[in-house]
Structure 1
Amino acid sequence: MPRHDAAALRSAAAPSAAALAVVAVVATVAAGAPGLVGTLAGGALVAAFFGVDHLVAARTAGLEPRLAMTMVMALYPLKLGLLALVLLGAADAPGLSAPAFAAAVVLGSLAWLAGHVRLVARRRTLVVEPDGLSWR
């Protein structure tokens, strides 16, 4: 994985991990082991859902931009379908605290997105391609 892709992944995953650590402590105190299991399952779901985007973006970085965008956009409905199946399966999972799972998913997602937005706001990315670098 290129250095800038690894930095993007770290900048998004670090705030999410911090938020999930807080949720894990609160959920474990409130619900015991099922709270911890729910938090870990929710955190794994967030990492998988958003981490796949980084993997696909890194793999398609050298491709023609329209093809790369098509691949990334085609991945989104697939991820949503798999997410729905996981959420339906986790609803009645034994040994899993549903409130801890939900809190981990919501807070982990918000923290991941906040970290990613912070990175994008601070990174200087060319929006216009200089002459000679166009794909046309």
Structure 2
Amino acid sequence: MPSHDARTIRGAAIPTAVAGILATAISAAVAGGKGAIGAGFAAVLVMVFFGAGQFALDRLTRNNPQLMMAVALLVYTTQILLVGIVLAVFKDTSLFDTKVFGFTLLGCVFVWCGMQVRTHLKTKQFYVQTDDDKPDEQSKPGRQQ
């Protein structure tokens, strides 16, 4: 994984983990043990789904960067779909407080996405081809001299 992608994941995962820990502590105080379990599960779920999505985006666009936008939209849509499936499966559970789970999930998704954008904007990533990177015009096939 290139260092800028690892930096993006780290820049989003650490604040999300902090937000998850805070949400778990607040939920434990307000809603008890079931609230803490719901908040912890939501934070872990966001970190796993969105971390795996960033990793998949890196792997899928490594050899073909022209597909970046299409793959990014597909990965994000898949992440949201999977979160929706988890919400539907645990809709009537008594294992944890579902309201705390939902609010923590939403908050952690906002933190992850916001910090991912912030980290990406702060990363100095070159997107212009320098003369050294450009192919030699004389060596192109079909070019007459």
Quickly name the TM-score band, shorter chain normalised: 0.7 to 0.9
Farther off after superposition, 40-49 or 29-38: 40-49
Which amino acid is 2:2 matched to? P
Shift in CA distance, 4/125, structure 1 to aligned 2, threshold 3 Å: closer
Q: CA 1:76–1:102 in 2, change beyond 3 Å: closer, same or farther?
A: same
Deviates most, 95-104 or 68-77 = 68-77
Give the residue type in structure 1 aligned to 2:5. Answer: D
- Residue 107 of structure 1: how far off its partner (Å): 1.6
Q: Which residue of 2 aligns with 1:7?
A: 7
Q: Which has the larger radius of gyration?
A: 2
Which fold has the larger relative contact order, with Cα–Cα distance below 8 Å and residues 6 or more apart in sequence?
A: 1
Q: Specify the SS of the correspondent of 1:93.
A: coil
TM-score by length of structure 2 reads 0.78
The residue type equivalent to 2:20 in the other structure is L
Question: Following the alignment from structure 1 to structure 2, what is the Cα–Cα distance between the partners of residues 77 and 120?
Answer: 20
Q: CA deviation at 1:69?
A: 4.4
In the aligned structure 2, how far is the partner of 1:111 from the partner of 1:77? 18
Change in Cα spacing, 1:71 to 1:114, as seen in structure 2 (3 Å) is closer
Aligned length in residues:
133
Percent identity of paired positions between Structure 1 and Structure 2: 26
Distance in 1 (CA, whole Å) between partners of 2:122 and 2:81 is 33
Q: What's the Cα RMSD here?
A: 2.1
Amino acid at match of 2:55: L
Q: Deviations over 1:95-126 (max 9, x none)?
A: 21112112211221122122212212211122
Give the Cα separation in 1 of the matches to 2:2 and 2:127: 20
Shift of 1:68: 4.9
TM-score by length of 1: 0.82
| Runs of at least 5 residues in structure 2 that lack an aligned partner in the other structure | 136-145
Q: 1:40 and 2:40 equivalent?
A: yes
1:73-92 to 2 correspondence within 5 Å?
73-92=73-92
Query: Where in structure 2 are the equivalents of 1:91-102 lying within 5 Å?
Result: 91-102=91-102
The aligned counterpart of 2:124 is: 124
Cα drift, residue 61 of structure 1: 4.2
Q: Tell me, in whole angstroms, the C-alpha distance in 2 between the residues paired with 1:107 and 1:77.
A: 18
In the alignment, residue 46 of structure 1 is paired with which amino acid? V
